[in-house]
Amino acid sequence: MAFASGSGGGPMADINVTPLVDVMLVLLIIFMVTAPILSYPIDVNLPQRSLNQPPQTKVPPPPIRLRIDAAGTIFWNDSPIDMRVLQQQMNNEVAKDPTNQPLLEIDVNPDADYGILAKVLARAKNADMQKIGFVQPQ
């Protein structure tokens, strides 16, 4: 509270409203600037209800088990495969049915070289394989 200097020496009961008016004007300006922005429509592509029958679910093909041992040998479903043939094998699997790809289960020995795993993942990406998972060794 402020004390009046010219009056009878009692406390002054007036409230200083200048800071309140300043804050209110700033808020008014902020709302005036942001209100037109909120009125613009935002296009949202929502899925539409289809009157057709639901799509038939396909039985997924059996998973492909890709194993990399400590020596760096790659096994495709328990048969050794060369790195050069791996890309073609992955392309063949994707070409069979691109919409219903098999799951590529990669099992890597903890002692294997990371560079080999990186090359295998790069080949899977180049073949456009969508389902890739890692399997923990048992």
* Closest alpha carbon to 69 in 135, 115, 113: 113
pTM greater than 0.75: no
Q: What residues have CB less than 8 Å from 4, skipping those under 6 apart?
A: 10, 11, 12
Angle 95-65-74 from CA coordinates, rounded to 5°: 95
pLDDT, tens digit, for every residue of 42-98? Answer: 788 888 877 777 767 778 889 999 999 999 899 999 899 998 899 999 999 899 888
How far, in Å, CA of 18 to CA of 117, rounded? 69
Question: Does the structure show a pLDDT above 70 at 137?
Answer: no
Tokens of 39: 């009125």
